[in-house]
Structure 1
Amino acid sequence: MDIEAKLKELGIELPAAPAPAANYVPYVVAGDMVYISGQISADAGGLITGKLGADMDVAAGQKAARQCAIALLAQLKAACGGDLNRLKRVVKLGAFVNSTDSFTDQPQVVNGASDLMVEVLGDAGRHARSAVSSPSLPLGVAVEIDGVFQIA
């Protein structure tokens, strides 16, 4: 599968890989594994902020999670020297959802990222996952997701 062609077919243009916001690296390649630091929800308009269960609904949260997945793919492309076709599979996503203590739909929010991975990558996009609530996230963003990927 040509991942770049699939992204183009879906109308998805990967942004430049975001630079880290503090004292860490955006990804680490160890053997055939790539560990990507948490990507916060942002789009061309800037940060996607809000708290699920307060001022954001599940659909808006899913869109924020989808943007995190796009940023993960951008980082993966950088880690692979620009060749996304080196990807063998998505191994695991770890997601944090900025939500109220009574909000319980974190898994549905994170489906925004998981669904994108499967839409773009097919079976190679199916992954293990965690989806947890957080009382706040950096810069007030709605979602942050990190990932582990296997590459050739």
Structure 2
Amino acid sequence: MSGKYETRLAELGVVLPAAPAPAANYVPYVIVGDLVFISGQVAQDETGRICGKLGDDFTVEQGQAAAKTCAINLIAQLKSACDGDLDRLKRVVKLGGFVNSTPDFKEHPAVVNGASDFIGEVFGDIGAHARAAVGSSSLPLGVAVEIDGIFQIS
């Protein structure tokens, strides 16, 4: 029997991927006390990396979709950190969003809303979180968005 958050994901039509492996010399998450610090998750889905630059070849809506894939990957890492039980989540503490953008692009918060809104859809009130949304001239592997997170678990 799946828990309430697995059920909610199913209602949203989302199947979590396996937690992505790190792309370099780091671990996917670190648990300190009741906090899980999840490394940045790049925009990647079952078809591959989602690459592009906001303000150039990517619209805000495409950026939001890329940010949502980052959130899905964050949840996959969280599930791994919780030994497969997402219902151990007590609170989404903070998300950090990085947007690959041109120097004149100013809608970074709107792009990162793709992740924040999805986290709220899945986790409800405990999904309300602090956040940063910043622009970058490039991101690893050319992806459009990267998002990291801090979560409180039981």
Compute the TM-score of the two structures, normalised by the length of structure 2. 0.98
Aligned 1:26-65 pairs, distance under 5 A: 26-65=28-67
1:132 CA displacement: 0.1
Q: 2:126 aligns with which of 104, 121, 124?
A: 124
1:41 CA displacement: 0.1
Moved beyond 4 Å, runs of 4+: none
CA distance in 1, matches of 2:41, 2:107: 20
Aligned 1:88-103 pairs, distance under 5 A: 88-103=90-105
Counterpart residue identity of residue 22, structure 1: A
Q: Please tell me whether residue 70 in structure 1 is matched to residue 36 in structure 2.
A: no
Counterpart residue identity of residue 29, structure 1: I
1:8 is aligned to: 10
- Listed as ranges, the gaps of 5+ residues in structure 2 are none
SS of corresponding position for 2:123: helix
Identity of aligned residues (%): 67
- Listed as ranges, the gaps of 5+ residues in structure 1 are none
CA distance in 2, matches of 1:89, 1:23: 28
CA distance in 1, matches of 2:110, 2:125: 20
Q: 1:145 aligns with which of 126, 144, 147?
A: 147
2:81 is aligned to: 79
Q: How many residues align?
A: 152
Q: Please tell me whether residue 17 in structure 1 is matched to residue 19 in structure 2.
A: yes
1:114 CA displacement: 0.1
Aligned residues: CA RMSD: 0.7
CA distance in 2, matches of 1:89, 1:80: 13
SS of corresponding position for 1:124: helix
Compute the TM-score of the two structures, normalised by the length of structure 1. 0.99
1:31 CA displacement: 0.7
- 1:3-22 deviations in Å (ceiling 9; x for gaps): 00100111110000000011
SS of corresponding position for 2:150: strand
SS of corresponding position for 2:104: coil
CA distance in 1, matches of 2:84, 2:116: 22
2:110 is aligned to: 108
Counterpart residue identity of residue 39, structure 1: Q
1:119 CA displacement: 0.3
- 1:71-120 deviations in Å (ceiling 9; x for gaps): 00000000000000000110000010000000000000000000000000
CA distance in 2, matches of 1:91, 1:150: 7
